[in-house]
Amino acid sequence: MPVTDSSAKALRRDKKRTKVNRRRKDAMKDAIKEVEDLVEDGEVEKAEDKLPEAQKAIDKAEKQNIIHKNKAARKKSQLARLVSDNME
């Protein structure tokens, strides 16, 4: 348990921030997984339509410092390559 009032307040604040950050990160992961699943199922056109949404979620996570900017760039590149490589 926190000893001082300030540490108690910090704990409350950290719990709130953790909840918000977890929600943002989960939204990003869900968007990425949706694109990957569509490609896996052979629905590349739908995946291509969902790609900008996934990239937007990744950008939001990056902007809020949930993930590092290089990781965001890498994830966006991997998704774009996954979709383009599976287009016939």
**Model confidence, pTM:** 0.86
Q: For the chain, what are the domain ranges? A: 23-85
In this predicted model, what pLDDT tens digit does every residue of 43-53 receive, in sequence order?
Answer: 999 999 999 99
Write out the two tokens for 16. Answer: 């709130």
> Which superfamily does 23-85 belong to?
Ribosomal protein S20 (1.20.58.110)
pLDDT, position 52? 97
Residues 6+ apart with CB under 8 A from 46: 38
In this predicted model, what pLDDT tens digit does every residue of 78-88 receive, in sequence order?
Answer: 999 999 999 86
* Averaged pLDDT score across all residues of the chain: 95
pLDDT, position 80? 96
Residues 73 and 63: their CA atoms lie apart, in Å, by 12
Half-sphere exposure of 49 (CA within 13 A, CB side): 4
Per-residue burial over 8-33, b if 16 or more Cβ lie within 10 Å, else e, is eeeeeeeeeeeeeeeebeeebeebbe
Tell me what percent of the residues of the chain surpass a pLDDT of 90.
Answer: 93
